[in-house]
Structure 1
Amino acid sequence: MKSKFVTAKRISILCALLCASASAQTGGEKTTRILPQRVNPPASDYIPPAPPIAPPSTNAAPASAALVELPKTVLAFDGEFQETSVKPGAAETKFTFNLTNVSPEAVTITSVHTSCGCTVAQLPSLPWTIPPGSNGQINVTMNLAGKSGIVFKTVTVTADKGVRQLTVKTTFLPPDPPPMSGNRAENQKVALVDRQAVFKGDCARCHVEPGRNRMGKELYTAVCGVCHEAEHRATMVPDLHALKKETSPTYWRMFINFGKDASMMPAFAQERGGPLSPEQVESLVDYLTITMPSKPADAAPSAK
């Protein structure tokens, strides 16, 4: 029993010595265990969670109604299409559209837009209110710089009662044929001997080249008008606008295809040595039938 007591006492003394030794090594200070702490990000870097996406609204505003055509019973124009022809080198063309408010209420034009910056519309300041029964004009100017051939432009007129589109067209005429070289009288003598001479040699520059790939009015201006519309037309060349005879598509077709014997009128059909294809001939027939109205022949004197 005494032996067990001695052993326990020794153990107690040993523990005390160990604690004293540890205290001496740390200077008698207590040690504290520091646990890592959670660090929050700076406020400036904090990104809040995205809010939930709301379902699409069923009360969205309806889209604006499609623009409707301005009724002719409201605003009447003297025409919605105008055209003109100019010679090469022309600087501009001008068009005038006349309009009338034919409705019992005032009509207000709110905007006018052209399809190209080269085309300008002139009208009173907008909005332009036109009382019932009143008239007005929209003047359109087309700048032709750098243009050729056939040019179309549109002018869109928007009013409080609808939209109307106007169209303008400019056609460039073929260039004037080069002046005839040599003596005109000599050339005419040659043509009287050989009607087809106008399609040969130097004469072809005026009577063949300008008509290539042209039809209708342009073809007439290029190959027919050079003689029949000339300012100093030869006396043996008839004025087609003043013919005192009945004409018809058949008449013009024969006249163009075969020419006229004992005259300077050549045969223009390719099969007769002329420069025109059948399609070109028919385009001339159509043009002449419309623009050169038939005039009845003088009535024969009645027998007495």
Structure 2
Amino acid sequence: MVSSDHLMPGEQGRIDAVVKTKGKKGRIRKTVAVFSNDPDRQTVTLSLVMNVIDPYHTQKFGAKAIFSSPCAECHVDRGKGKTGAALFNADCLICHRTGKPGKPFSDLKGMTQDDIRSATMSGIPGTIMPGFSWKEGGPLTSDDIDSIVRYIKRR
């Protein structure tokens, strides 16, 4: 929002901009177009560069913390009622893609079905991978986990 809708030549004003940063982190750039009646510069584009600090991942949490708020919003809730590819994409891909802390999908595909099932059900000690089975306090049933294993191995 501009502090005034009319500025005389040479006057200054302030422009307030709101940037939605949910799901973003690191250096991001946004632009704001300013329209003018100046025949030589009818549009001026302002470039806003900011460093978004991820408020949830600035500290280390125990692996099972992802099953509680606020972590569950991204790590659990998106996959409720889904199976297979939809479940993997909703809740697993957040960690299991290139550049993220979990093994990328290509590495998971190279694992045996039993190893994938075991890691998903019980977790991997000494890592950020918790057990996702109900028995371990996680949100997934055995059928949910089997659907993820099938998806990984068939893809």
What range describes the TM-score normalised by the shorter chain of this pair? 0.5 to 0.7
* 2:94 match: 226
* 1:282 match: 146
Kept in 2: contact 1:229–1:239 (CA 8 A):
yes
Structure-1 separation of matches of 2:82 and 2:116? 18
Greater strand proportion:
1
What SS does structure 1 have at the residue aligned with 2:130?
coil
Structure-2 separation of matches of 1:247 and 1:268? 18
What SS does structure 2 have at the residue aligned with 1:282?
helix
* 1:203 match: 71
For the pair 1:179 / 2:23, whether they are aligned, the reply is yes
* 2:104 match: 239
User: What is the root-mean-square deviation in Å for CA atoms of aligned residues?
Assistant: 2.1
Larger relative contact order, structure 1 or 2 (CA cutoff 8 Å, min sep 6): 2
Kept in 1: contact 2:97–2:103 (CA 8 A):
no
Structure-2 separation of matches of 1:183 and 1:204? 11
Deviation (angstroms), 1:229:
2.3
Structure-2 separation of matches of 1:268 and 1:196? 9
* 1:270 match: 134
* Aligned AA (1:195): A
For the pair 1:258 / 2:126, whether they are aligned, the reply is no
Taking a change above 3 Å as real, the CA distance of residues 238 and 246 of structure 1, as seen in their structure-2 partners, is closer
Deviation (angstroms), 1:266:
1.0
Q: Which of these residues, 203, 213, 217, is aligned with residue 85 of structure 2?
A: 217
Greater C-alpha Rg? 1
Structure-2 separation of matches of 1:182 and 1:203? 11
Structure-2 separation of matches of 1:233 and 1:251? 20
What SS does structure 2 have at the residue aligned with 1:202?
coil
Q: Identity percentage over the alignment?
A: 28
* Aligned AA (1:276): L
Structure-2 separation of matches of 1:269 and 1:195? 13
Instruction: After TM superposition, list the pairs within 5 Å mapping 1:60-139 onto structure 2.
Output: none
Extract structure 1 runs of 4+ deviating beyond 6 A. Answer: none
Taking a change above 3 Å as real, the CA distance of residues 184 and 241 of structure 1, as seen in their structure-2 partners, is same
Deviation (angstroms), 1:276:
0.7
Structure 1 residue runs of 5 or longer lacking an equivalent are 1-177, 292-304
* TM-score (norm. length: structure 1): 0.32
How many equivalent residue pairs?
A: 105
* TM-score (norm. length: structure 2): 0.61
* 1:45 match: none
